[in-house]
Amino acid sequence: MKYSHRVSDGIHILSYVYLHQDAKISSTKLAKSIDSNPSLVRRLMSRLTKAGLLVTHPGTASPSLAKAPEEITLLDVYRAVEDQYHLLHIDDQTNPKCPVGKNIQAVLEVEYAKVQAAAEATMAKITLAEITADIKQRIEG
Protein backbone atom coordinates (compact mmCIF):
# COMPACT_ATOMS: atom_id res chain seq x y z
CA MET A 1 0.00 0.00 0.00
CA LYS A 2 1.33 3.40 -0.95
CA TYR A 3 0.83 6.26 1.48
CA SER A 4 0.56 9.91 0.54
CA HIS A 5 2.78 12.37 2.39
CA ARG A 6 1.24 15.43 0.75
CA VAL A 7 -0.63 16.63 3.83
CA SER A 8 2.42 16.18 6.03
CA ASP A 9 4.63 17.94 3.49
CA GLY A 10 2.08 20.73 2.99
CA ILE A 11 1.93 21.37 6.73
CA HIS A 12 5.74 21.20 6.81
CA ILE A 13 5.95 23.90 4.14
CA LEU A 14 3.45 26.19 5.87
CA SER A 15 5.09 25.67 9.26
CA TYR A 16 8.56 26.37 7.87
CA VAL A 17 7.33 29.54 6.12
CA TYR A 18 5.65 30.76 9.30
CA LEU A 19 8.56 29.94 11.61
CA HIS A 20 11.11 31.51 9.23
CA GLN A 21 9.11 34.58 8.16
CA ASP A 22 12.10 36.87 8.05
CA ALA A 23 14.36 34.57 6.03
CA LYS A 24 14.70 33.92 2.32
CA ILE A 25 12.96 30.61 1.67
CA SER A 26 13.56 28.92 -1.65
CA SER A 27 12.00 25.66 -2.81
CA THR A 28 15.48 24.15 -2.55
CA LYS A 29 15.72 25.15 1.11
CA LEU A 30 12.25 23.73 1.80
CA ALA A 31 13.11 20.55 -0.09
CA LYS A 32 16.17 20.04 2.11
CA SER A 33 14.03 20.44 5.22
CA ILE A 34 11.47 17.93 3.92
CA ASP A 35 14.21 15.67 2.50
CA SER A 36 12.55 15.80 -0.88
CA ASN A 37 13.10 17.54 -4.21
CA PRO A 38 12.41 21.17 -5.15
CA SER A 39 9.95 20.30 -7.94
CA LEU A 40 7.70 18.43 -5.49
CA VAL A 41 7.87 21.41 -3.13
CA ARG A 42 6.96 23.81 -5.94
CA ARG A 43 3.96 21.66 -6.90
CA LEU A 44 2.75 21.59 -3.29
CA MET A 45 3.35 25.32 -2.92
CA SER A 46 1.28 25.89 -6.06
CA ARG A 47 -1.60 23.90 -4.59
CA LEU A 48 -1.34 25.74 -1.28
CA THR A 49 -1.33 29.05 -3.15
CA LYS A 50 -4.39 28.10 -5.25
CA ALA A 51 -6.18 27.14 -2.03
CA GLY A 52 -5.52 30.59 -0.55
CA LEU A 53 -3.18 29.35 2.17
CA LEU A 54 0.16 30.59 0.84
CA VAL A 55 1.33 33.65 -1.07
CA THR A 56 4.26 33.28 -3.45
CA HIS A 57 6.02 35.74 -5.71
CA PRO A 58 7.56 34.26 -8.86
CA GLY A 59 11.29 34.81 -9.05
CA THR A 60 11.69 35.59 -5.36
CA ALA A 61 12.32 33.40 -2.34
CA SER A 62 9.75 35.09 -0.14
CA PRO A 63 6.64 32.97 0.42
CA SER A 64 4.28 33.97 3.21
CA LEU A 65 1.09 32.69 4.76
CA ALA A 66 -2.07 34.01 3.11
CA LYS A 67 -3.93 33.82 6.42
CA ALA A 68 -3.09 33.93 10.08
CA PRO A 69 -1.92 30.52 11.36
CA GLU A 70 -5.00 30.40 13.61
CA GLU A 71 -7.15 30.46 10.47
CA ILE A 72 -5.41 27.61 8.63
CA THR A 73 -6.58 24.15 9.60
CA LEU A 74 -5.32 20.68 8.91
CA LEU A 75 -8.51 20.18 6.90
CA ASP A 76 -7.64 23.19 4.72
CA VAL A 77 -4.26 21.66 3.92
CA TYR A 78 -5.78 18.21 3.34
CA ARG A 79 -8.26 19.61 0.84
CA ALA A 80 -5.59 21.74 -0.85
CA VAL A 81 -3.05 19.01 -1.52
CA GLU A 82 -4.88 15.69 -1.76
CA ASP A 83 -6.44 14.57 -5.03
CA GLN A 84 -8.88 12.19 -3.36
CA TYR A 85 -10.66 13.11 -0.17
CA HIS A 86 -11.14 9.52 0.97
CA LEU A 87 -9.13 8.17 3.87
CA LEU A 88 -10.44 4.64 3.41
CA HIS A 89 -11.00 2.83 0.14
CA ILE A 90 -13.41 0.01 -0.69
CA ASP A 91 -12.33 -3.01 -2.70
CA ASP A 92 -14.69 -2.97 -5.66
CA GLN A 93 -13.50 -6.34 -6.97
CA THR A 94 -15.40 -8.61 -4.58
CA ASN A 95 -17.30 -11.68 -5.71
CA PRO A 96 -20.93 -10.75 -6.49
CA LYS A 97 -21.97 -14.41 -6.11
CA CYS A 98 -20.87 -14.42 -2.46
CA PRO A 99 -23.44 -12.99 -0.01
CA VAL A 100 -20.72 -11.02 1.77
CA GLY A 101 -18.96 -9.98 -1.44
CA LYS A 102 -22.27 -8.82 -2.91
CA ASN A 103 -23.13 -6.56 0.05
CA ILE A 104 -19.88 -5.47 1.68
CA GLN A 105 -19.34 -2.41 -0.51
CA ALA A 106 -22.72 -0.83 0.27
CA VAL A 107 -22.28 -1.45 3.99
CA LEU A 108 -18.72 -0.11 4.05
CA GLU A 109 -19.67 3.01 2.07
CA VAL A 110 -21.97 4.05 4.92
CA GLU A 111 -19.44 3.21 7.66
CA TYR A 112 -16.50 4.76 5.83
CA ALA A 113 -18.52 7.96 5.33
CA LYS A 114 -18.90 8.16 9.13
CA VAL A 115 -15.13 7.73 9.58
CA GLN A 116 -14.43 10.37 6.93
CA ALA A 117 -16.82 12.86 8.53
CA ALA A 118 -15.30 12.31 11.99
CA ALA A 119 -11.76 12.68 10.66
CA GLU A 120 -12.61 15.87 8.77
CA ALA A 121 -14.36 17.33 11.83
CA THR A 122 -11.22 16.66 13.88
CA MET A 123 -8.92 18.08 11.19
CA ALA A 124 -11.03 21.25 11.11
CA LYS A 125 -10.21 21.84 14.78
CA ILE A 126 -6.41 21.56 14.44
CA THR A 127 -4.76 24.81 13.39
CA LEU A 128 -1.38 25.68 12.00
CA ALA A 129 -0.94 27.90 15.08
CA GLU A 130 -1.20 24.85 17.35
CA ILE A 131 1.16 22.82 15.19
CA THR A 132 3.81 25.54 15.00
CA ALA A 133 3.53 26.24 18.74
CA ASP A 134 4.25 22.56 19.41
CA ILE A 135 7.19 22.63 16.97
CA LYS A 136 8.63 25.74 18.68
CA GLN A 137 8.25 24.14 22.10
CA ARG A 138 10.09 21.01 20.92
CA ILE A 139 12.87 23.10 19.33
CA GLU A 140 13.35 25.11 22.48
CA GLY A 141 13.31 21.93 24.55
CATH label of the domain that carries residue 27: 1.10.10.10
pLDDT-based confidence at residue 2 (cuts at 50, 70, 90)? low
* Measured distance CA(133)–CA(9) in Å, rounded: 17
3-state secondary structure of 54: strand
Residue 109, domain member (yes or no):
no
Residue 99, domain member (yes or no):
no
pLDDT-based confidence at residue 92 (cuts at 50, 70, 90)? confident
pLDDT-based confidence at residue 116 (cuts at 50, 70, 90)? very high
Neighbours of 12 (CB within 10 A): 21
Residue 24, domain member (yes or no):
yes
Neighbours of 107 (CB within 10 A): 11
Residue 60, domain member (yes or no):
yes
Kindly report the pTM of this predicted structure. 0.89
Residue 31 pLDDT more than 90? yes
Residue 1, domain member (yes or no):
no
* Strand partners for 73: 127
Burial per residue of 85-96, b for 16 or more beta-carbon CB atoms within 10 angstroms, e otherwise: eeeeeeeeeeee
Burial per residue of 53-81, b for 16 or more beta-carbon CB atoms within 10 angstroms, e otherwise: bbebeeeeeebebbeebeebbbbbbbbbb
Residue 46, domain member (yes or no):
yes
Residue 106, domain member (yes or no):
no
Q: How many domains does the chain have?
A: 1
Residue 17, domain member (yes or no):
yes
